[in-house]
A and B are shown apart, each in its own frame.
Chain A
Amino acid sequence: MAPLTTASDEHTHQALLSKLDIYAVPKPFRNPHYKAHGRRNKNLKQIVTEATRKEASVMATQNNSGVSTPLTEAGTPSANPVGRPPNIAQAAQSLSTLVLEKNSRAAAAANASGNGNAVGPAATYTNIESAPSFHPNSQRRYCDITGLNAPYTDPKTRLRYHDKEVFGLVRTMTQGVVEGHLAARGAHTVLK
């Protein structure tokens, strides 16, 4: 419990902490009988896995499940009813998403007069992720050490480098350092 600043001593610091502490502050707005259930902290991966499983099973009743009240606003023009073309990269991650997209599109085509949100597949946390790039710009290479453009690749370490001076440095690097540089661009070897 060392004070962070030199201006305070042990005593004033203790007083400050007591003042800041909200544990002892009365919280009348809390329901005294509320008790959080035990394992409610889940990480993103767990939540996403559960959500995907659920998506697949509730699919059929998506549009009238009663789990939501759709926005009803007369005169909302129909948005592009075509929806997105199926995204292969994401579909590979979760096959169910692909099925979902296809079914939803069929449903959307059937009632083209629906509003924006009902049209097309429902957006889920996973399927709104941007797909890998197909633009030639993503093939540009930059030096792993300096960040400058890199016309060369060292076949031994797979590091991209800018010129012979940087190459000199690359050749003095140990394996760990090389892996560190590769990891910065996600090209390192991952042992499973």
Chain B
Amino acid sequence: MAPSATTDVPAASGRNSPKPTPARIWSVSDPPFEGFKSVDQEGFARSNSETAIVIDSGSSAVRAGWSFDSKPRLSLPPLVARYKDRKLNRTFTFVGSDVYSDGTARGQSKNVYEPGSNIVNNWDCMEGVLDYCFIKLGVDGQQGSIGRPVVMTEPVANLGYSRKTMSEILFECYGAPSVAYGIDSLFSYSYNGGKHGLVVSSSYTSTHLIPVLNSKALLSQTTRLNWGRFQSAEYLLKLLRLKYPSFPGKVSDPQAEDLVREHCYVSQNYEDELSRYFEWTGLEDRNHIIQFPYTEPIVVQKTEEELAAAAEKRKEGGRRLQAQAAKMRLEKLKQKEEELEFCQQLQDQLQNIPKKEVKVLLESEDFDNEVQLEKRIRDLEKSIKKARNKDLGDVEEEVQEEPTFPLLDTPDEELDEEGIKQKRQQRLMKSNYEARQRAKIEKEKEKARLAEEQRLDDERREGDPEGWATDRKIARQAIIQKIKDRERMKAELGNRKSTANQMRMKQIANLASDAPKNKRKRGGGDDDTFGADDADWGVYRTIVTGEQSDDEEEEDLNKALKDIEGQLLRHDPTFTEESTREAQTDWTKSILHAFLHGPYPYDSESQRDMHQLHLNVERIRVPEVVFQPSIAGLDQAGIVEIASNILTERLAESPYRDDVLKDIFLTGGNTLFQGFEERLASELRAVLPVERELRVRRAGDAVLDAWRGAAQWAGRRENKTNFITKAEYMEKGSDYIKEHALGNASSF
């Protein structure tokens, strides 16, 4: 397999560091409304009935002007919006970029051409465009006619119906005295002084290769590839939709065209460049960020002062509470001290009075006997001491003495009622105490067991390091598998029809049903042992899909994984920092991350990041289609294959072949990609005989030279005979055509 098919080999320096914020971020804009164009009277005033109106009716733009002009006076997108405003009860017609001036107009605008082709399919719109051209050129028609000849461009091998309808409109609606048609790319070639050559015209909706011998196009050898800028933009849009399926913004068609124009370039060596496209070094230059408008969610930012004030307020509250508590404690302490004093006085009193009165006195103070009084005094002393210590801040460790339970050994018969009560209490206390002791021992045992395990593990590691490492790795793999399973499960639950989801529904139904689960086992009686095994509770994990459900478990797994990896890192020399899962799932190593987000971290919460498009591979993938149409599913040969076929086979016997090789001529907006010329030259060089001289050149102005060529052609006196006059039209029918060197042949 290709070397690049293996996963990225980690760089020697370890992880890649994220690139700093890019220096340049691109944005998109809507096609601008170009403002009102005033009527240009000057041209019409200079013209006479011989001066032709030249119209290059392209599918990306219609350009119009006079045959004596050096450049077209008008250039407009072939869009027409005609609608009736019900509120104003008025019909509007907007043409060209004027449709961008208003929301409704924009929504109502229709293209003159069938989308993706150079064939007119809306003739009402075509009339609108022609109306607009003639108005803006200041044509002052007399008796319902433009009174000037028209030169129009048309596609190579234009369909008879299209030409017929166009002639019909020009002659019958506009009353043109004469009309001539020609092919745009041939006009461009003749304008650039070509005689023998191969015209490679890649324009808006198609790419044509036309061999020209002795200034005469060889139409029968012409080949068309159904790919142009329109298809490129459409393809880019498709790719972007697949790349960012949940992109919140919307990329419009004109914006996609802008993206193609601005960011795409032809790769000189596609395979090679592709394999190195996501290399970390220089990725920031290859990756272009397109930022769409977004609104940052408003986070209320508190000022430093406000924060300080709030903290102060909180502290104040705390202090007040503390003070209150201290006051209460003090009051209690005082109370206790008073009580102690009183009790002590009472005790003193008791020594001096006879026994009989003692009892009365004690009873009046709610004490049963002297012992109780003593106990009370002891308790009070203890608690006062404790409280004082607490106030002073030092807590004295209470000495835990082993409690004794003297009464337990005396049999019940020797005890009175009070004694039995106390004995019962002591028994309770004893069992409590014993349980605590048992737990303590258990804990120590567990500690010892762990230590022993650790010791055994260490021993094993020292004795059999490889086996130990293998075991650890297996355990690690198991955890990773578990994590992956969980991730997959989560992904599958997103799909309503997935098996995982169906299992979940089944489980919920089972849990909810009251009927015994296993009817066959009915003889066993009530055998609900749910919960006996801890894993039973896992069933809830499988049915809860909310966010909180798996955090805990995931953390457990991650912790276990970290533990194992830590051990492996410490003791296994073959297990390095690179092999940890964290390093392997590091986004800087991920091709998909580089593809989607370039060399920058991605925060799925950030509105800014969400509204970004990253163009990287697309920059060479989209223009590459002209060379390899199969990329976009177009079942046609690429331009190099067509050109080499024409040059080496179809023209093989032509005496002009070497002249043709010296002039491979590029025209049309889709050839403006950076590197187009060089790529075509180098690829053609590879298929042509080595001794043949090859030259590739581009039109001086790949976009406007077609119009200029047409104007130049129209201005030449000798071409007057190539115009179809109105009389000829009337006599010979609407699909009559005069063939000339730069035009189509009749195709019926």
Given contacts A77-B655, A121-B220, contact A151 B5 (CB under 8 A): yes
Residues of chain A from 127 to 163 with CB closer than 8 A to chain B in the complex:
128-135, 137-138, 140, 142, 145-149, 151-152, 162-163
Question: Within 8 Å CB of B220, what residues of A?
Answer: 83-84, 116-117, 119-123
User: Does B36 contact A187, Cβ atoms closer than 8 Å?
Assistant: no
B737 contacts the other chain (CB 8 A): yes
A25 touches B735 (CB 8 A): no
Determine whether B277 belongs to the interface, using a CB cutoff of 8 Å to chain A. yes
Residues of B within 8 A of A117 (CB): 219-220, 739, 745
Contact in complex: B2, A44 (CB < 8 Å): no
With an 8 A cutoff between CB atoms, is B654 at the interface? Answer: yes
Which residues of A sit under 8 angstroms from B746, Cβ to Cβ? 65, 67-68, 122
Complex partner residue of A116 from B85, B117, B218, B241, CB under 8 angstroms:
B218
B364 to chain A, nearest CB (A): 85
Q: Which of B155, B213, B238, B592 has the largest count of A CB atoms less than 10 A from its CB?
A: B592
Interface residues of A in 14-69 (CB under 8 A from B): 16-17, 19-23, 25, 27-34, 36, 40-44, 47-48, 50-51, 54-55, 58, 62, 65-69
Contacts of A79 in B (CB 8 A): 213, 218, 221, 654
Residue in A31, A138, A148 whose beta carbon sits within 8 Å of that of B174 in the complex: A31
Establish whether residues A163 and B122, one from each chain, have CB atoms under 8 Å apart when the complex forms.
no
With contacts A51-B159, A163-B6 taken as known, whether A184 is within 8 angstroms of B242 at the C-beta atoms is yes
Q: Does A95 contact B (CB under 8 A)?
A: no
- Contact status A22-B242, CB under 8 Å: no
B733 on the interface (CB 8 Å rule)?
yes
The interface bits of chain A over 78-109 (1 if a CB of B lies within 8 angstroms of the residue's CB, else 0) are 01101110000000000000000000000000
Among candidates A22, A66, A122, A166, residue contacting B745 with C-beta atoms closer than 8 Å: A122
Structural contact, B5 and A162, CB atoms closer than 8 A: yes
Residues of B within 8 A of A181 (CB): 242
Q: A19 and B36 in contact (CB under 8 A), knowing A47-B119, A54-B748?
A: yes
Q: Which of A21, A32, A41 has a CB less than 8 Å from the CB of B94?
A: A21
Query: Does A76 sit at the interface, judged by CB under 8 A?
Result: yes
- Please provide the chain B residues from 96 to 141 with a CB less than 8 Å away from any CB of chain A in the complex: 98, 100-106, 114, 117, 119, 121-124, 127-128, 131-132, 134-135, 139-141
With the chains together, A19 CA to B155 CA distance in Å?
34
B739 touches A68 (CB 8 A): yes
Knowing that A3-B103, A123-B745 are A-B contacts, what are 4 other residue pairs whose CB atoms are under 8 Å apart, sorted by A's residue number? Answer: A54-B160, A117-B745, A177-B242, A185-B630
User: Top 6 nearest A-B pairs by Cβ distance?
Assistant: A186-B633, A29-B141, A68-B746, A120-B220, A23-B93, A133-B637
Does residue B274 face the partner (Cβ distance < 8 Å to A)? yes
Is B590 at the interface (CB under 8 A from chain A)?
A: yes
Q: A4-B102, A117-B739, A184-B235 are in contact. Are A162 and B591 (CB under 8 A)?
A: yes
B interface with A by C-beta (< 8 Å): 1-2, 4-7, 33, 36, 82, 85, 87, 91-95, 98, 100-106, 114, 117, 119, 121-124, 127-128, 131-132, 134-135, 139-142, 144-147, 155-162, 165, 169, 172-175, 208, 213-214, 216-226, 235, 238-239, 241-242, 245, 271, 274-275, 277-278, 488, 491, 495, 590-592, 595, 617-618, 621, 628-638, 641-642, 650-655, 732-733, 735-741, 744-748
Cβ contact within 8 Å between A166 and B592: yes
Complex: how many Å from CA A34 to CA B117?
28
Question: A155: shortest Cβ distance to chain B, in Å?
Answer: 16
B741 nearest in chain A by CB position: A71
Residue A124 lies at the interface, judged by CB distance under 8 Å to chain B: yes
Across the interface, which residues of B come within 8 angstroms of A183, CB to CB?
A: 238, 633
A191 touches B (CB below 8 Å) = no
| 8 Å CB contact of B93 from A4, A22, A32 | A22
Complex: how many Å from CA A185 to CA B98?
36
**Cα distance, A43 to B159, chains bound together (Å):** 12
The docked-state distance in angstroms from the alpha carbon of A23 to that of B93 is 5
A121 / chain B contacts, CB cutoff of 8 Å? 220
A28 to B147, CA, bound (A): 11
| Nearest neighbor of B105 in chain A, beta-carbon distance | A17
A1/B85 in contact, CB under 8 A: yes
State which of B7, B87, B103, B140 has its C-beta within 8 Å of the C-beta of A2.
Answer: B103
Q: Are B740 and A134 in contact (CB under 8 A)?
A: no
Select B224's contact among A19, A42, A129, A163, beta carbons within 8 Å.
Answer: A129
User: Taking A47-B162, A79-B213, A128-B156 as contacts, is the C-beta distance between A16 and B101 under 8 angstroms?
Assistant: yes
Q: B142 touches which one: A21, A27, A28, A69 (CB < 8 A)?
A: A28
1/0 per residue A160-178: CB within 8 Å of B?
0011111001001010010
Give the complex CA separation of A20 and B2 in angstroms.
60
- Known contacts being A148-B274, A169-B592, A185-B631, is A163 close to B732, with CB within 8 Å? no
State how many angstroms separate the Cβ of B182 from the closest Cβ of chain A.
Answer: 13
What are 30 residue pairs bridging A and B, where the CB atoms are less than 8 Å apart in the complex? A4-B33, A4-B101, A4-B103, A21-B92, A29-B144, A30-B131, A31-B174, A33-B144, A34-B172, A36-B169, A44-B114, A51-B161, A65-B748, A68-B739, A70-B739, A84-B220, A84-B650, A116-B217, A117-B745, A123-B157, A124-B748, A131-B637, A138-B628, A146-B617, A147-B239, A163-B5, A165-B591, A172-B491, A184-B632, A187-B633
